[in-house]
Amino acid sequence: MSWRIQYEKWLNNPKLESYLKEKLAQMSEKEIEDAFYTDLQFGTGGMRGEVGPGTNRMNIYTIRKANEGFAEYLLNNFKDAKSRGVVIAFDNRHFSTDFALESAKVMASHGIKAYLFDSLRPTPELSFAVRYLNAIGGIVVTASHNPPQYNGYKIYDENGCQLVPQFADQVIEYVSRVEDVFALDIKDASELTHLIVKIGKDVDDAYLNKVKTIQLNPYLDKSKIKIVFSPLHGTSNVPVRRLLAECGYQNLYVVESQCIPDPNFSTVKSPNPEDGEAFALSIELGEKVDADILIATDPDADRVGLAVKNNEGKYVLLTGNQTGAVLIHYLLSQRKAKNLLPTHGVVYNTIVTSSFGAEIAKKYGLEVESTLTGFKFIGEKAADIENTDKTFVFGYEESYGYLLADFVRDKDSIQSVLMCAEAATFYKNQGKTLYNVLFDLYDEYGYYIESLVNIALKGIEGQEKIKRILTDFRFNKPTSVAGVAVVASEDYNESVRYDVFGTTQLTLPKSDVLKYILSDKSWFVLRPSGTEPKIKVYVGVVSDHLKTSEAKNEAIKKYVLERIATIA
């Protein structure tokens, strides 16, 4: 069915909510095309899109359709789905409360118990709650760190892990069978009170008590450490402030204007701790109170970013890879000192994560395994080794997501904030900043420098260009980049690695991702975003000198971007 026919079907449907019909009538031809040319798809972070009318937008009808598919999947695969139920959480975004209630109504209309949080909660707490309540699955309504016009929907299995492609594809198959979203029989919430159960404080207490157990040095002197914290208008405000207070961090300063759960994220250009501009108010407060560390989380509280003082006393932002390396070093060095390193410990990262943290982990005798991008793959691995001789020690990805203890099966900024605060305190008491620790690690392991470029390509034309870019790189493989030979390439869509020894089958799930490895251990990756109309370019290098690594990184990035620009 063409986008124009879909548009007319929606516009003329008497069941369409009046506020959405008004928006449809005001849309331009280009806006109509973008809203109806496709259906929202599940990607690395679930289903995300701009809020508004249309099959390619987040609204109560696309939410109902997704939940209808999820409900059918659960009922057809789990005999106890109705009694075990589904846990539902939501963040502070536009329509999050409505979309969460709609999710609960669809589940309950199918006889599935819906545990609905009484107010906004962090995504990692949702992951925890699924296992805590012995639920069959979970749902969180969030668009993570996306701009304010977005919202989204993520689904979880009984292990508290986002559905991996093997199972998400089954849900998508059920979703695709929904021919008419307006014909779904969804009961009113007033008829479903026996199946929609509100949850809150009991789960909060259990979750935060569990988070406290990750501390390695809970009795450090915390009197001198000064911390600035911002939830960037999101869900971590209450749990983080409570957690740090209960763990003895008395010098906590919060960016008050960013503690308001504002769906417009009025104080920031982007509510993303990867974006340096998001730290502007934190830096201002940090300079005022002479803070040692600045910490910010994204709206659904699964990512965390840090800013620390350099040798000149200026705040610098750490990248996700740098924070990961510092956390791994602190975690493993302290566990070794306390004789707590497991015999068969495993650290998980992704194929676009720096090798920096991996080298540190290997020094301590840990196994390192890389997954595809998307924390669901790390959560899946944690579940897989639960009853084996292997022990989950740490999981992380370059995009500011970390997990220290796998009672959560998703990235968890609440855990991460606590461990970052502890590490900063530990080194503060030794007269060091986390910046000093980072450069000590560089001196020992090499100067690992990474970068990421997001190229936005919206609409039908954008999707076609992304395909052309990947096709060009796939079939015209570079043989050298910036004067350095390409010695291997990995095509995750074809599940093949090519190098001087021939071809090797890759064992990870198929994904339209290309990786190229150079003779000097540099690499770059091309990957379409799973949640936004973008193609992502990742670059990683290592050398014995900072400036050399920075120059190599820029040279590789320049090559890739110039080549992309020539592809029509």
The 3-state secondary structure of 188-253, one letter per residue: CHHHCCCCEEEECHHHHHHHHHHHHCCCCCCCCCCCCCCEEEECCCCCCHHHHHHHHHHCCCCCEE
269 backbone dihedrals φ, ψ, rounded to 5°: -70, -40
The pLDDT of residue 45 is 67
Give the domains, in start order, of the chain with CATH numbers: 3-207 (3.40.120.10), 225-445 (3.40.120.10), 447-566 (3.30.310.50)
Checking if the pLDDT of 242 tops 70, the result is yes
Instruction: Supply 147's token pair.
Output: 């701009």
- What is the pLDDT averaged over residues 355-359? 97
Mean of pLDDT over the chain: 95
pLDDT band at 142 (very low <50, low <70, confident <90, very high): very high
Identify which of 261, 246, 240 has the alpha carbon closest to the alpha carbon of residue 415.
240
- Residues facing 151 on adjacent strands: 49
340 backbone dihedrals φ, ψ, rounded to 5°: -115, 10
139 backbone dihedrals φ, ψ, rounded to 5°: -140, 135
- Percent of residues, the chain, with pLDDT higher than 90: 91
The pLDDT of residue 123 is 98
pLDDT tens-digit profile of 17-74? 999 999 999 999 999 999 999 888 876 567 999 999 999 999 999 999 999 999 999 9
The pLDDT of residue 568 is 60
Identify which of 358, 387, 389 has the alpha carbon closest to the alpha carbon of residue 371.
358
The question of whether 144 is a catalytic residue gets the answer yes
> Taking phi first (over 0 means left), then psi (-120 to 50 degrees means alpha), and beta for anything else, what does residue 426 get?
alpha
The pLDDT of residue 460 is 82
State the Cα–Cα distance between residues 154 and 478, nearest whole angstrom.
37
Mapping DSSP to helix (H, G, I), strand (E, B) and coil, where does residue 490 land? strand
State the Cα–Cα distance between residues 447 and 441, nearest whole angstrom.
9
The pLDDT of residue 58 is 96
Checking if the pLDDT of 461 tops 90, the result is no
pTM listed for this prediction = 0.94
State the Cα–Cα distance between residues 291 and 10, nearest whole angstrom.
53
pLDDT band at 507 (very low <50, low <70, confident <90, very high): very high
SS (H, E, C) 2-68: CHHHHHHHHHCCCCCCHHHHHHHHHCCHHHHHHHHCCCCCEECCEEEEEECCCCCCECHHHHHHHHH
Identify which of 137, 26, 37 has the alpha carbon closest to the alpha carbon of residue 78.
137
Mapping DSSP to helix (H, G, I), strand (E, B) and coil, where does residue 105 land? helix
Helix, strand, coil % (nearest 5) of the chain? Answer: 40, 20, 35
The pLDDT of residue 43 is 65
pLDDT band at 1 (very low <50, low <70, confident <90, very high): low
State the Cα–Cα distance between residues 388 and 102, nearest whole angstrom.
39
pLDDT band at 459 (very low <50, low <70, confident <90, very high): confident
Query: Burial level of 516, CB count in 10 A (0-12/13-18/19+)?
Result: buried
Half-sphere exposure of 315 (CA within 13 A, CB side): 25
The pLDDT of residue 145 is 87
Checking if the pLDDT of 272 tops 60, the result is yes
The pLDDT of residue 2 is 84
Checking if the pLDDT of 390 tops 90, the result is yes
- What is the pLDDT averaged over residues 216-241? 98
The pLDDT of residue 264 is 97
CB 122 within 8 A of CB 236: yes
- What is the pLDDT averaged over residues 491-506? 93
- What is the pLDDT averaged over residues 481-487? 95
Checking if the pLDDT of 414 tops 60, the result is yes
Checking if the pLDDT of 289 tops 70, the result is yes
Contact partners, residue 180, CB within 8 Å, separation at least 6: none
Between 283 and 534, where is the model more confident? Answer: 283
Catalytic residue among 144, 354, 489, 511: 144
Checking if the pLDDT of 531 tops 90, the result is no
The pLDDT of residue 288 is 98
